[in-house]
Chains A and B, each alone.
Chain A
């Protein structure tokens, strides 16, 4: 490695508010050589995004200040550089890509113009030349028809294309260093794989140096040469990817690696759950279910338009089973969950819960469902009424379900114990709790009805990995202890693989594959399942990520089995 391109030395950022200075970044030091790809890993609040904002001196609030240290870019100290020089550095030398392209692209400006803007400003090209250069960049980042798409507005593109446009905007001013702040977190796994592939391609083509921020150790393991781990504003460990993953020094790094979902959990499903006794009949039976929603006000349109969210799904779930439903956004998995609980209209087909048919005798089935099934939601904050304390919230459920008033306080205590919350949480409101604590409270509320079945809808997607792992452990313990039936909906295959014994893969409202977890993951029958599995960033760098070139075409046609012959299973 030659002399480092970027050298961060003891960089310290503090916030100055009423309570006096608080240090948010504590003496961060790291070096970045030309052509390096550095992965910056940490959970929310670790300061990884703040560090990158501090590098280009674009701190998110005027209350924050760089209080010490230096950032040397090719020998110049950016901390002391004047604002005019920083304008050249930002974009011109260090480009940034943000997590949420939807909010970071200007909604009222053409995509091409946003790229051309940087070209004109930083390279001083004429309008015509800038346009030509922007079209060139659009083609580079994967726009099929750049001349036409130049004139598109951000909202006309899909999430993946918007992120490509965002990358294009960052490339427009021809930077040497590219900082990508969680560039794929908002995307589906297959799209994520494509975007990561694109980033690496561009790195190779342009000789870029890249800092990739991610909460997902898998993403970093697949793309970077070096890894730096951050926690609470400190850089706890950094080093070469392989040695760091193989022999982590810091306990926190170890914990991060252990809680990564691609690591096999202790005692995968089969062992944890005693084989369910051959049940007489399934607890939940879904037969050719369709859910359609009316779309738009079709006052002058030809005929009523509908969107089919679920198209002909059939599924049986036995008592005590743990079933994972996976699929990307728009696959209909959440709609299915809501339909099961009678929260979405069923257009045709049957759902019956323990013999009660939701279509034929809706009132009776609903009554049964609502006292024997409960749901856990994705966003732990939004799922709890902000005005009620946890105790009030659980008490209300108990009261409605006819628990004697005298027994309620004791029961609240038991429920909190069960989900691993201190009993004092009964008096707290959601806003004074962390995401993980809120999610535990949400589970306690679900358990309050003493359900036979719990439907968990993406219930760990919004949580940090270490918290994710804790919640998954909690579910594992609960299902084992209370003979619960669990329907676990997730976009993250790795989590499902760890928790569930059976998996159902949904795509565009249909079930494309279903089977025992071990079988499906080892030998996927459907091309979509296969591409989904290949796109999981594994924490093992030697199991490379495969940005499936097949998947866009799969996305277009919507079907395409690998093969109907059993022998195909062994090809992979």
Chain B
């Protein structure tokens, strides 16, 4: 929680916290090692790494959040419908899920981005097209179990309408379960987003994004290690924050079961 909070503060208040403009190129200060003036050093354009890492929090946090929210909403809704109605709807649904899951996640993402053209927008669209599948499958499986739970049967036998049972009784219980998954998914989305940006297909330079920064530093790893080290560490830390939150949520839910 504290880790996530820290990054949230960094992201929101980036303009006030960051000591320099993240894209300002200072020709006089190229490839400076960490020093009091530039605590994390500067890159080959003389940009301050600390400032870029702070501004990067904005984009990477956004990637993790937006990259999870839309798939979560789409997947949960579709999974609930498929699980609840069953029959032919469910069969078709499951085939689609099987097919999408047959593609390695990153490969499908890259293929879609190849068509849409590089950029953050393409990344989000590809996320929405691909990411919902795991949520849908998870929620569907839970709905199938919950549908046969006594309280669902009770609700039906008391004359509640199908939509009431589905959305008021089943969905909240199923979605609660996938909330833990949201956190581990956020880690994956963050890593994939950074990886795609690293490959040059996501966030475009000169915008400060951690994956891009790692790519920038790659040519200088033998001389200026700090350009690659710090953005990478930020990714690790943010991912750690999400993982811990996920574990905490899982414990919380586990206690209630």
- A interface list, Cβ under 8 A from B: 338, 341-343, 366-367, 370-371, 373-375, 377-379, 382-387, 396-397, 400-401, 431, 442, 445, 448-449
Contact = CB atoms under 8 A, between A and B. Distances in A.
B222 interface: no
Interface in B109-156: 149-151, 153-156
25 contacts: A338-B153, A342-B157, A343-B153, A366-B159, A370-B158, A371-B159, A375-B154, A377-B153, A377-B154, A378-B150, A379-B150, A382-B149, A382-B151, A384-B151, A385-B151, A386-B256, A387-B172, A387-B173, A387-B176, A397-B158, A400-B159, A400-B160, A401-B159, A442-B154, A449-B158
Interface residues of B, number: 19
A377 B172 contact: no
Nearest to A371: B159
Most buried by A among B149, B164, B172: B149
Contacts of A383: 150-151, 154
Given A382-B149, A385-B173, A387-B172, A341 B157 contact: yes
A370 B154 CA distance: 10
A400 B153 CA distance: 16
Contacts, number: 55
Nearest to B172: A387
A428 to B, nearest CB: 14
Contact of A375 (B153, B161, B176, B256): B153
A341 B150 CA distance: 14
A377 B160 CA distance: 17
Given A387-B172, A431-B256, A382 B150 contact: yes
Contacts of B256: 386, 431
Contacts of B160: 396, 400
Contact of B154 (A342, A431, A445): A445
Contacts of B164: 400
Nearest to A366: B159
A57 B173 CA distance: 39
Given A386-B173, A431-B256, A370 B151 contact: no
Contacts of A384: 151
Nearest to B158: A397
Contacts of B150: 377-379, 382-383
B157 A374 contact: yes
Contacts of A401: 159
Given A342-B157, A343-B157, 14 more contacts: A343-B156, A367-B159, A370-B159, A375-B153, A382-B150, A383-B150, A383-B154, A384-B151, A385-B151, A386-B256, A387-B172, A387-B173, A401-B159, A449-B159
A375 B159 contact: no
Contacts of A371: 159
B169 interface: yes
Contacts of B169: 385
Interface string B171-203: 011001000000000000000000000000000
Contacts of B154: 375, 377, 383, 442, 445
B134 to A, nearest CB: 24
B148 to A, nearest CB: 10
A341 B156 CA distance: 10
B158 A400 contact: yes
Nearest to A372: B159
Contacts of A385: 151, 155, 169, 173
Q: Which 7 pairs between the two chains have the least Cβ-Cβ distance?
A: A370-B159, A383-B150, A377-B150, A382-B150, A385-B151, A341-B157, A375-B157
B129 to A, nearest CB: 30
Nearest to B149: A382
A373 B156 CA distance: 12
A504 B204 CA distance: 75
Interface string B241-257: 00000000000000010
Contacts of A387: 172-173, 176
A343 B155 CA distance: 11
A486 to B, nearest CB: 16
A374 B256 CA distance: 28
Most buried by A among B159, B168, B169: B159
Given A382-B151, A383-B151, A370 B157 contact: yes
Contacts of B168: 396
B169 to A, nearest CB: 5
Contacts of A338: 153
Contacts of A442: 154
A291 to B, nearest CB: 15
B175 to A, nearest CB: 11
Nearest to B165: A385
A374 B156 CA distance: 10
A339 to B, nearest CB: 12
B11 to A, nearest CB: 32
Contact of A445 (B149, B158, B172, B176): B158
Nearest to B152: A385
Nearest to B168: A396
A317 B143 CA distance: 35
A342 B157 CA distance: 8
Contacts of A342: 157
A415 B160 CA distance: 19
A367 B161 CA distance: 11
Contacts of A343: 153, 156-157
B176 to A, nearest CB: 8
A114 B254 CA distance: 32
A370 B159 CA distance: 5
A374 to B, nearest CB: 6
B249 to A, nearest CB: 16
Contacts of B149: 382
Most buried by A among B150, B172, B176: B150
A377 B152 CA distance: 11
